């Protein structure tokens, strides 16, 4: 679990580093520009980190399934080699998905201006600058995303259905609480990631205001990588004690 958490931390750090430093630099220098190559890099790396993140969350659901439903086989199934291979699959799938989306986006011709109504290069906003009808690009974007996301989502759901059935068969309340507490951070992280990403990419981009687009972009690009370390840290007893003292000080 901690090996996968290390990979998740790297992906979260990379994801937030793609957008925030450039936007902060533009804010400090009072500029609102980014070179074409920089825009391509932002699109590629952001989709790469986001895709690899979701693939890794799916693998972590499998890790929790083996740990709770087949605990006696855990050491045999989740060997170091198996963990490294699964993490590598998550990273490689992110690269392939990112290359596909980036190539599809920047293969079109742009003639609608050079102003992206966002604080980073976002594919839906880039499609608005296309010479041709952007509806086809949005359909291609969704058709590429949805199957992969549905497969990962279904795998996570099936894993947690089996986990829930197994936990209910645990005779002691303490054992059930320990099993649920192990899975709760992962469930919260997955829910946060899916909720923000689904809301962002399934909304009608052409009919929303710039303020709403900006708010949604902040939610799905900054909120998950910022909250993930906090969510997983809540299982640490030292963090729980410090939080209790902080809440007690305000009470």
Point out the least confidently predicted range of 161-165, 172-176, 189-193, 241-245.
Answer: 241-245
- Residue, of 128 and 140, whose pLDDT is higher: 128
pLDDT of 204 above 70: no
Taking residues 29-40, report their average pLDDT. 82
Distance CA 65, CA 166 (A): 9
pLDDT of 174 above 80: yes
Q: What is the Cα Rg of the chain in Å?
A: 20
Please choose, from the candidates 181, 161, 165, 177, the residue with its C-alpha nearest in 3D space to the C-alpha of residue 1: 181
Among 139-153, 209-223, 237-251, top mean pLDDT goes to 139-153
CB 137 within 8 A of CB 107: no
Please choose, from the candidates 37, 34, 42, the residue with its C-alpha nearest in 3D space to the C-alpha of residue 18: 42
- Residue, of 87 and 210, whose pLDDT is higher: 87
pLDDT at 108: 77
Distance CA 230, CA 227 (A): 5
pLDDT at 7: 92
pLDDT of 223 above 80: no
CB 125 within 8 A of CB 221: no
CB 43 within 8 A of CB 123: yes
CB 220 within 8 A of CB 197: yes
Residue 170 has φ and ψ, to the nearest 5°, of -70, 125
pTM metric for this prediction: 0.81
Tell me the per-residue pLDDT of 225-235, one tens digit each, with 9 for 90 and over. Answer: 887 777 777 66
Please choose, from the candidates 132, 86, 138, 92, the residue with its C-alpha nearest in 3D space to the C-alpha of residue 112: 132
CB 196 within 8 A of CB 220: yes
Among positive and negative, which fits the CA dihedral 217, 104, 131, 32? positive
Burial of 124 (0-12, 13-18, 19+ CB in 10 A): buried
Token duo for residue 113:
């201006």
Distance CA 133, CA 16 (A): 31
Q: Output the average pLDDT for the chain.
A: 80
Please choose, from the candidates 96, 60, 93, 90, the residue with its C-alpha nearest in 3D space to the C-alpha of residue 78: 60
Point out the least confidently predicted range of 18-27, 52-61, 75-84, 93-102.
Answer: 18-27
The three-state (H, E, C) secondary structure of 115-172, written as one string: CCCCCCCCHHHHHCCECCCHHHHHHHHHHHHHHHHHHHHHHHHHHHHHHHHHHHCCCC
Token duo for residue 219:
């939610």
In order of start, what are the domains of the chain with their CATH numbers? 2-250 (1.20.1070.10)
pLDDT of 149 above 70: yes
Contacts by 108-115 with C-beta closer than 8 Å and gap 24+? 108/132, 108/137
210 pLDDT band, cuts 50/70/90, is: low
pLDDT at 111: 74
Taking residues 117-130, report their average pLDDT. 75
pLDDT of 61 above 80: yes
């Amino acid at each position: 679990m901690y090996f996968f958490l290390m990979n998740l931390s790297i992906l979260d750090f990379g994801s937030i580093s793609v957008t925030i430093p450039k936007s902060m630099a533009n804010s400090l220098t009072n500029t609102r520009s980014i070179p074409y190559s920089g825009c391509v890099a932002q699109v590629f790396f952001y989709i790469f980190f986001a895709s690899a993140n979701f693939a890794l969350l799916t693998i972590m659901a499998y890790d929790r399934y083996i740990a709770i439903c087949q605990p006696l086989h855990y050491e045999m199934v989740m060997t170091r080699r198996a963990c490294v291979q699964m993490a590598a699959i998550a990273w490689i799938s992110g690269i392939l998905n990112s290359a596909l989306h980036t190539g599809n986006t920047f293969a079109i011709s742009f003639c609608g201006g050079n102003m992206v109504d966002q604080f980073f290069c976002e594919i839906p906003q880039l499609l608005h600058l296309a010479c041709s009808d952007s509806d086809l690009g949005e359909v291609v974007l969704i058709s590429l995303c949805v199957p992969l996301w549905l497969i990962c989502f279904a795998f996570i759901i099936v894993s947690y259905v089996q986990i829930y059935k197994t936990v209910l068969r645990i005779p002691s309340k303490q054992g059930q609480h320990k099993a649920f507490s192990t899975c709760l951070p992962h469930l919260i992280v997955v829910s946060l990631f899916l909720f923000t990403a689904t809301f962002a990419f399934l909304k009608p981009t052409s009919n929303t205001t710039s303020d709403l687009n900006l708010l949604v972009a902040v939610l799905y690009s900054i909120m998950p990588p910022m909250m993930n370390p906090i969510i997983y840290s809540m299982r640490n007893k030292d963090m729980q004690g410090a939080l209790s003292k902080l809440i007690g000080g305000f009470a």
